[in-house]
Structure 1
Amino acid sequence: MTTIHSTPSDTEIKARHRRLWASGDYPAVADLIAPLGRRLVDALDIRAGQKVLDVAAGAGNVAVPAARTGAHVVASDLTPELLETGETRHRDLGITWRTADAEDLPFDDDDFDVATSCVGVMFAPHHGRCADELVRVVRPGGRIGLINWTPTGFIGELFRVMKPYAPPPPPGAQPGPLWGDADHVRSLFGDRVTGHEFDITTVAVTAFDTGTAFREFFKKHYGPTIVTYGTISDDPARVAELDAAIDELADHYIAGGRMEWEYLQAILTVA
């Protein structure tokens, strides 16, 4: 197993990320997109007996349906509070819940048949490190399955709208929605993977009738939104500007109480 030595800057970045995703109630947000986990399990044809690692698993949107196939599943995440929610909800499935950094996974080389991440690893700051680790822990001929929000879809646009109000990203951190671009994914993995399968599609979210309803839910539950509003909380005019911008964006996507959130699904075979 390789070892990545973290700098003091890296340690602080990871601490910020843990606090961000522990704020609010991310499992409530993940419940909105629960079908994505089953879609990724089906696309990878995960089966009983396989050893599966779900990276940046949150409360288990992929880990849970993978375990229900009879696979042996490890769900890892930087934020232990999310894993605790998953374990409490799904004690009967035999999933191993493990606190771990996607950029420095505590697993042996070639240890898994399959590695997955559903709108998770995309938010780690150093994309190349994550790709390196995913390739390292999957055996040759094994598969990596990723679902990531696209830069041009609703969530990608939400991050664009929030960016002027958000705290500056840490030095060297790359934007998460880049993982939703197939060319970026190809560049990260290079010739270490083969058989690239890319599919851009959407997941339907039916929880919101208005942009205001969406915005209020995300202000309460979604870590990145919570942190962004916290940054401008002492400036009512800026808060009002961001409220209006998010309302307008969400209203644009809502039709008959339904939103379509675009994502890239990538299925890769380790060379």
Structure 2
Amino acid sequence: MTDTITPASTADAAEADRALKAKHRAMWASGDYPTLASDLIWELGAQLVDAVGVRPGDRVLDVAAGSGNAAIPAALRGATVVASDLAPELFEAGRRAATEAGAELEWREADAEQLPFADATFDAVLSCVGVMFAPHHQAAADELVRVAKPGGRIGTLSWTPEGVIGRMFATMKPFNAPPPPGSQPPPLWGDELHVRELLGDRVDEFNAVRRTVAITRFRTGEEFRDYFKSHYGPTIAVYARIAEDPEQVRALDDALAALGREAGLDGSDRGMAWEYLLVTARRR
């Protein structure tokens, strides 16, 4: 016996999805993600642009662009760039950064799982630690492929499950609300086999490489923890959920500080190495 999809159940599902996306938008608008991106990982955007091979005259879409750490380098290559994100609150900082860099690009509010662009529009479609946070991975991957031209390049850069940020999400999981049905954890985009399955036989020239970015801003686990508590939407959201339970707050405080120490923060200047997976492919 199969379930029958009724108009009412379809409407309920659509309303649930709108509520989930509103929650995601509010999460990323909280804190100060543009400053975090500038302080810690701005260089990763240019690395992705290099890997994808963005050229002058290319039409490029940056999905879940945030404040544009991939979109701006792509525009500086001479590409025509659209930076899209579910949280347009991040665009103000992106526009300032683009102006300072001398880059011109378009900023467009868009859901990575329902991109408002026609099929086969872009020469390159990329996402730097962005699309990995769309809750429904297959839907987001389908959109990356759909809007790329045949022969167009697709590139993603995502935190791995085993790396520091992947481990941070695992650390926060027991304190967080259960995920909605059908949603998947962001760090799975840092697993090569998972991304291969998402893109499937619609792409060729698939390449995946693990790299690390050196983070030297923090000396102690407590500094690492407190920075994420004040800047990073997902961490802020977890702390907001447990704010009325001091015991849980202390437990999460201790766990995140311990993670920082395990990742190498010992009071010296040696810093941390955050692992990510860089994937490139070409649409068939």
Aligned to 2:226: 216
| 1:12-51 correspondence runs (5 A) | 12-31=19-38, 32-51=40-59
Q: Is the 8 A contact 1:47 1:70 kept in 2?
A: yes
CA distance in 1, matches of 2:72, 2:61: 11
Match of 1:104 among 114, 118, 121: 114
Partner residue in 1 for 2:283 = 270
Question: What is the alpha-carbon distance in structure 2 between the residues aligned to residue 28 and residue 54 of structure 1?
Answer: 19
Flag as ranges the 4+ runs of structure 1 deviating above 2 A.
254-257
Cα offset for 1:93? 1.4
Structure 1 residue 29, shift from structure 2 partner = 1.4
Q: Tell me the distance in 1 between the aligned counterparts of 2:181 and 2:28.
A: 19
| Offset from partner CA, 1:140-162 (integer Å, 9 cap, x none) | 11100100000111000000000
Q: Which runs of 5+ in 2 are unaligned?
A: 1-10
Mean Cα displacement is larger for which, 29-38 or 49-58?
Answer: 29-38
Q: Distance in 1 between matches of 2:128 and 2:274?
A: 14
Distance 1:45 1:124 in 2: 25
Summarize deviations over 1:84-122 as a string: whole Å, max 9, x none.
220133134111000000000011111000000011000
Which residue of the partner structure matches residue 207 of structure 1? 217
Which residue is equivalent to 2:15?
8
Partner of 2:200: 190
Paired residue secondary structure (1:33)? helix
Q: Which runs of 5+ in 1 are unaligned?
A: none
SS, match of residue 127 in structure 2: strand
SS of residue in 2 equivalent to 1:174 = coil
AA matched with 2:148: V
Aligned counterparts, 1:136-215, within 5 A: 136-215=146-225
CA distance in 1, matches of 2:170, 2:98: 35
Please say if residues 76 and 83 of structure 1, whose CA atoms lie closer than 8 Å, have aligned partners that are also in contact.
Answer: no
Instruction: State how far apart, in whole Å, the 2-side matches of 1:191 and 1:80 are.
Output: 33
Q: Counterpart in 2 of 1:52?
A: 60
Q: Residue 235 of structure 1 corresponds to which residue in structure 2?
A: 245
Secondary structure of 2:256 counterpart: helix
TM-score (norm 1): 0.96
Q: Deviations over 1:232-265 (max 9, x none)?
A: 1111111111111100111111354311000000
2: distance between equivalents of 1:139 and 1:156?
Answer: 32
Structure-2 separation of matches of 1:223 and 1:137? 28
**Is the contact between residue 50 and residue 71 of structure 1 (CA under 8 Å) also seen in structure 2?**
yes
Point out the structure with max Rg over C-alpha.
2
- May I ask how many residue pairs the two structures share in their alignment? 268
1:37 alignment partner, SS class: helix
Report Cα offsets for 1:194-253 as digits up to 9, x if no partner: 011100010111110001001111000100000001111111111111111100111111
CA distances 1:42-94 after superposition (whole Å, capped 9, x unpaired): 11111111110000000001001111111111000000101222013313411
State the TM-score, normalized to the length of structure 2: 0.92
Q: CA RMSD in A?
A: 1.3
Aligned to 1:87: 95
| Aligned residue identity for 1:89 | A
